[in-house]
Amino acid sequence: MKKLIAKRLYAELYDIRVSDWEGEVDFYRGLILNSDLKSQGVLEVACGTGRVTMQLAKEEIDITGLDISSELLEIAQAKSVGMSNVKWILNDMKRFEIDTKFGFAIMPGHSFQFMNSPDEQVKCLEQIKQHLVADGLLVMHLDHQDFGWLAKLPNKKELVYKQGRILTHPTTNLQYRPSSAWSFEPSTQTATVKTNWEEVDRKENVTQIWEMEPKQLHCVFRFEMEHLLKRAGFSIEAVYGDFFKNKLTDESEEMIWVAKNTGDLK
C-alpha cells in the first residue's frame, strides 16, 4: 500500500519536478515538422505524463504516447481531453503491438535506460522497428555517462540518502520532499535509485514516509548503443551531445541518437 501511494505521488509530482532539457522540444519539433514523414505520425515510447507528447501535439502532430505506468498515463490523459490527434497506450516497450506504422518513434528523457539487459534492449528496439515505416526515424535521448559520478557511487550496502527540494502537491497543497540514495553495480552497468517521499509539515518536520520501489537504470555507453541499433536493423544518421546538434564530446551530458529503419541489418 505504501509503495502504491509512493508511485502515485511520483506521478502527481512529476511535472513540477522534471523540466525540459534546453532545446529539447524545438529539436523534436524541427525534425518532425521539416520531414515528409510527419504525415505518418509519431510514436512516443515511454511518454510518462506526456511532458514532450503534449508540446508536440499542440503543433497538430498526430502522436501516440505509450507507457507502462497507469499512474503517469492518467496524468497524461487529463491533459489531452478533447484533442483528436493524441492517443495513449498502456503497454510495455519490450512487447507492445499497435496496428499502425509511424514515421517517427521518439524516446525522450533517458527512458531506454529502463532496459536492463541486452535481451530487453534488443526486444525494445525490435518492437520499435516493427512500428516504423521504411526509412522511419528513431530518436533516442540518453544520459552521456559521467564516469566521475558513477565511480563515487557506493554499492547497495552503503546507501546515503540525499534530500531534494520540497514540492507542493498541485491539488492537495501538501508538501513532499524526495529523499534519494543512488548506488552503482559496475559489473552490470546498473545504477539503482531508492527514493522515499517524505511528507513534511510547514516546519519541515517529517510526518509520513512513502517508500518507492527501487528504480534500476542501465548506464548505456556510446559504442554499446551503436552496436544495439545496428543489431536491431537501424542505420545511424547522427549522434549529438545536446539538442543544439553539437558533437558528442567528453564534456557532453546527453547523447541524442537519430537512427533510420533501413530494413536490413548493417
Ligand X SMILES: C[S@@+](CC[C@H](N)C(=O)[O-])C[C@H]1O[C@@H](n2cnc3c(N)ncnc32)[C@H](O)[C@@H]1O
Positions that interact with ligand X (CB under 6 A): 18, 46-48, 51-52, 67-69, 72, 92-94, 108-111, 114
Q: Which is nearer to ligand X, 94 or 194 (CB)?
A: 94
Scan for cell 548503443, then name that residue: 225
Q: Which is nearer to ligand X, 46 or 239 (CB)?
A: 46
Name the closest residue to ligand X (Cβ).
Answer: 109
Q: How far is the CB of 16 from ligand X (least distance, A)?
A: 12
How many other C-beta atoms are found inside a 10 Å radius of the C-beta of residue 195? 20
Q: Which residues pair with 257 in a beta bridge?
A: 140, 239
- The Cβ-side half-sphere exposure at 118, using a 13 Å CA radius, reads 6
Amino acid type, 106: I
Q: How far is the CB of 138 from ligand X (least distance, A)?
A: 14
Q: Which is nearer to ligand X, 85 or 116 (CB)?
A: 116
Q: Which is nearer to ligand X, 110 or 222 (CB)?
A: 110
Q: How far is the CB of 239 from ligand X (least distance, A)?
A: 19
Whole-angstrom distance, CA of residue 107 vs CA of residue 117:
18
Q: How far is the CB of 223 from ligand X (least distance, A)?
A: 23
Q: Which of 85, 5, 18, 82 is nearest to 49 (CA)?
A: 18
